[in-house]
Chains A and B, each alone.
Chain A
Amino acid sequence: MRVLAKHQSVSDRFSLGATLRAVKRLLLRRSVITFEIVGLTLAGIVGASLPQLGIASGEDMVRLYQSGPVLSALVELLSLDDVFQSPWFLGLTLLTAASLTIVVVEQFRRLGRAWSQPLTSADLHDAPYRIEFERVRRDCAAAADQPAEHVEMRSTGRLGLAGSPLFHAGLLLIMAAGALRALFGVNAMVDLLEGETLPPVAEAWGAQWPAAAANPLRLDVPLTLESVTVKRYASGALRDVRAVLSLDTEDGAVRKTVAINHEVQAPGGRLFLGADVGPTALIEWQQSGAEPLREAVMLRSLGTGTYQKAFYLEGYIKVFLRADVDLDGNHPDFLDVRIVDNERRALLFGGPLRAGDSVSLGDGRTFTLHGLPFWTRLRASRDPSLWPAYLGFALALLGIAILYTVVKVDTCVVITPEGDRERVFVALRAQRFAPMYRERFERMVRAQGGTV
């Protein structure tokens, strides 16, 4: 029984090994690698041409879904509205990663062998550029002391051999980083007012986009938005936004400035600032006999220094708010307010209000402005793939830079004395771009007194 079991195990291992070898051969096949690149290219073309979920607008998505029965069926079947998250794209990416892994292993193995291999004249006997000719012996006087054969071997640009392995290893690292991000990356955002504190809980964020296996993002310490500075060009276009944050750490409050293109590392995530900014109207709406309604209304930019917002109270009272921010980004002195009763078609109030002002609108209703702080949108990210991705980028870049700038070139000149004449063998082999080395070969031949 034991003998039989052992035999079966060997047989299993043999068949497993054979299967793995067959898979490896398949993944290394040129047609398979070409299929993978073509597949990824086509996926990119489809994904960039059709509206994609989370990127395109709602109207574009509706237009895609209603674009005829055939296309709609294809969209449904192949997830063409979310190409880069679709199972077939994931499968193609995995297949490519598998091929790439084997290619990288094979290339590094080959590099190890080629790197340490000494060059001999025999290696160049079948070089694409080679010539053999006879000439009169140049060193007749010293002929007696000369060895039978004079061999001059030269190999330059050995580093060029490392280009392709490094490039493919970099690509593999980028793909691994992408997988890491797709599994564990998370992005979040929240709109904060000056003076507002973000508690260290995930629910405090306005929106989160966690990856498949990621926990929602939460900072480890409370964060307070202390102040926002807005700078504008003379045309009114936005020039810069900065925000001072206070992180309530165990060692006390730590102040950090986050700005557009200037991230901040906080405990629990990296923080970013976008161009979304504006004044906030802190209003209170009071009706007789009802609880006061307090709201923070964030005004939106019109593309210049003017910000505005319109909204309804009680379903029929329309409120228009407008404020101007000067070029230095000072807080607005006042808020321009229009309050319209849509049922009675009557203007209840129109004019400027300063922080602390309150207006009576009749029937026991009052509208109060408590303040005009700035709001801004804070983004956060936790991405374990960042440094692997950057390392992958660096390796890939180094690899292709080497690939196209450093070429390994082996040359040899063998001079064999034959009486008062000598036979000269000149050869050159370039690892890549061989035709570009023809001139160099011709120079070598001429230097030895031959003609090409």
Chain B
Amino acid sequence: MDSLALEISLHWVAVALYIAGTVLFAYATLFEHPDKVRWGVWAALAGLVPHSAALLMRWILLGHGPYLLKYEVLSSDAWVAVAMLLLFVWRRPNWAPMALVVLPVSILLMGFAVFSDPAAKALPPSFRSVWLVFHVTFNKLAMGAFILSFAAAVTLLRKLNGATGRLLDRLPGPDGMEAYTVRLVGFGFVFWSTTILAGAIWANQSWGRYWGWDPIEVWSLVTWLCYGLLLHSRLFFHFTPRATAWSTTGCFAMSILTVLVLPFLIPSVHSTYFQ
């Protein structure tokens, strides 16, 4: 088995374990077995092992991080989302129902990844910059935080729509859940700002300008403004938890559009790399 085939196989093993994790979380949540949440955590954690191995193998083989091809970008984004979920659930075990949103999103990302072209591509010279590492790392952290905030928003909406259950009842009330959602949005906003900042420094280092109105640069600014609008509007107009949850969902859709859809569609300095 060559290294690429092994990588793909490891990815599939991880997908299988994440699916198992989703089923176990669903069982614990829907059939009200809070004590079984740990099974889902273990399955997701077990999935993270082959997933990490696949990403590491590729990193060592190619000599650069997972930020060049669609295959690498999507897979590593899924890894960050699962890792952040597990970290969050470890700190706040009552929030396990969020896994029912985060794990399917991650599985979807990995599905798109393994069906895209994984053929290795040489690192362009402009990619040899420490600022790229910061740019990409913080972008992934931002996406992880946005996925978690989206999951919190979906869970909040479920609660507001009258869903009950032993696990859901363990979560804070609507106001508390809204505060968590906004704090996760806040963390994402900090990471997203750092992404833009690192990208600006990198652009200045490469091209002598820190901002060039490149379409993807502008879309990232639009996403940043959308989240800024959410955070301001919530304060200004005293948003209800429902309004915050829906706004968070809308902003999350915008971030997905910016990171995972538009770079593949729009001609820009970013689109030439995520092929």
Contact = CB atoms under 8 A, between A and B. Distances in A.
B176 A37 contact: no
Nearest to A45: B222
B268 to A, nearest CB: 8
A438 B194 CA distance: 31
Contact of B236 (A30, A235, A261): A30
A41 B222 contact: yes
A380 interface: yes
A404 B186 CA distance: 6
A311 B258 CA distance: 42
Interface stretch (A139-147, A196-204, A236-244, A249-257): A236-244
A275 B208 contact: no
B190 A34 contact: no
Contacts of A274: 206-207
Contact of A379 (B124, B128, B202, B208): B208
B9 interface: no
Nearest to A274: B207
A37 B122 contact: no
A40 B224 CA distance: 11
A230 to B, nearest CB: 10
Chain A contact-residue range equals 35 or more
A383 B209 contact: yes
Contact of B221 (A44, A262, A263): A44
B186 A237 contact: no
B162 interface: no
B37 to A, nearest CB: 20
Interface stretch (B24-32, B40-48, B225-233): B225-233
Contacts of B176: 435-436, 438
Interface in A253-278: 260-263, 270, 272, 274-275
A63 B267 CA distance: 15
B179 to A, nearest CB: 4
Given A260-B206, A436-B183, A44 B218 contact: yes
B237 A435 contact: no
Given A33-B236, A435-B178, A275 B225 contact: no
B275 interface: no
Nearest to B175: A435
A401 interface: yes
B209 A187 contact: yes
Contact of A434 (B179, B208, B222): B179
A233 B236 contact: no
Contacts of A57: 267
B103 to A, nearest CB: 25
A434 to B, nearest CB: 7
Given A44-B225, A261-B125, A400 B190 contact: yes
B197 interface: yes
A275 B124 contact: yes
Contact of A240 (B128, B193, B204): B128
A47 interface: yes
A263 B221 CA distance: 26
A285 interface: no
B179 A436 contact: yes
A45 B44 CA distance: 37
A238 B125 contact: yes
B200 interface: yes
Contact of A400 (B189, B208, B214, B218): B189
B225 A40 contact: yes
A404 B190 contact: yes
A389 interface: yes
A164 to B, nearest CB: 10
Nearest to A185: B209
A368 interface: no
A436 B180 contact: yes
Interface string B252-275: 000000000000001100000000
B122 A235 contact: yes
A260 B125 contact: yes
B126 A261 contact: yes
B39 to A, nearest CB: 27
A37 B225 contact: yes
B214 A55 contact: yes
A178 B210 CA distance: 10
A237 B206 CA distance: 18
A340 to B, nearest CB: 34
A261 B206 contact: yes
A38 interface: yes
A214 B33 CA distance: 69
B165 interface: no
B211 interface: yes
A381 B209 contact: yes
Contacts of B116: none
Given A30-B236, A37-B228, A238-B125, A380 B173 contact: no
Interface string B164-189: 00000000110110111011001101
A44 B236 CA distance: 23
B122 A397 contact: no
Nearest to A389: B210
B194 A397 contact: yes
B92 to A, nearest CB: 11
A397 B189 contact: no
B139 to A, nearest CB: 15
Interface of A: 30, 33-34, 37-38, 40-41, 44-45, 47-48, 52, 55-57, 84, 178, 185, 187, 233, 235, 237-241, 260-263, 270, 272, 274-275, 379-381, 383, 386, 389-390, 393, 396-397, 400-401, 403-405, 433-436, 438
Given A41-B225, A238-B125, A241-B125, 10 more contacts: A30-B236, A48-B215, A48-B219, A56-B267, A240-B128, A261-B206, A389-B200, A400-B190, A405-B190, A436-B180
Interface of B: 121-122, 124-126, 128-129, 172-173, 175-176, 178-180, 182-183, 186-187, 189-190, 193-194, 197, 200-202, 204-216, 218-219, 221-222, 225-226, 228-229, 232-233, 236-237, 266-267
